[in-house]
Amino acid sequence: MTVKAGDAIPEVVLKYFKDGVQAIDTPTLFEGRKMVLFAVPGAFTPTCSERHLPGFVEQFETFRSRGIGVACVAVNDPFVMHAWGEQLGVPDGLWMLSDGNGDLARALGLEMDASAYGMGLRAKRFALYADDGVIRQLFVEAPGEFKISGAEHVLAHLD
């Protein structure tokens, strides 16, 4: 079942790369702060690399000035997420998180089967806004679309 506004972020451990591979659980990531988490189907894929992540990089300071943290997550390993972030100039403070086994995608009910494309289980393209670990808004894209989960749209629709 897909999460909805008012639901708590499920407890999952994610990975990231900073002086080696590190782990962070979702309560630690979300507790006591406002956060936008956006998911991409895959690092280095066209829409993700040309539009989705770059939009959040461009708007990162706007989110930060509003007291909102930003995190990108994909069903990729932490090394890939780190390399992708470096290639696209992700600023310090924008989390590049690995959901390597798709645990978060499944826990949110936002997984998709991309086996037909040789990609296995992936996260749907989405963005969510959470305050203190509770989802306030959720923007889930229809398959193949990029209309409502980008930085500009999310900023314009934050409550």
For residue 1, tell me if it sits in a domain.
no
For residue 3, tell me if it sits in a domain.
no
Identify the three-state secondary structure at position 17: strand
For residue 6, tell me if it sits in a domain.
no
For residue 122, tell me if it sits in a domain.
yes
Residue 120: predicted pLDDT: 86
Q: Is 72 a catalytic site residue?
A: no
How does pLDDT run across 27-53, given as a tens digit for each residue? Answer: 999 999 999 999 999 999 999 999 999
Supply the CATH number for residue 28's domain: 3.40.30.10
For residue 8, tell me if it sits in a domain.
no
Start-to-end CA distance of the chain, whole Å, equals 24
Structurally, how many domains does the chain consist of?
A: 1
For residue 18, tell me if it sits in a domain.
yes
Residue 40: predicted pLDDT: 97
Convert 130-150 into a string of H (helix), E (strand) and C (coil): EECCEEEEEEECCCCCCCCCC
CA distance 28 to 24: 7
For residue 4, tell me if it sits in a domain.
no
Q: Of these residues, 3, 29, 40, 48, which one is catalytic? A: 48
For residue 7, tell me if it sits in a domain.
no
Contact 152, 36 (CB under 8 A): no
Greater confidence (143 vs 73) lies with: 73
How does pLDDT run across 98-119, given as a tens digit for each residue? Answer: 999 999 999 999 999 988 888 8
Domain extent at residue 59: 13-157
Angle, vertex CA 61, rays to CA 59 and CA 132, nearest 5: 95
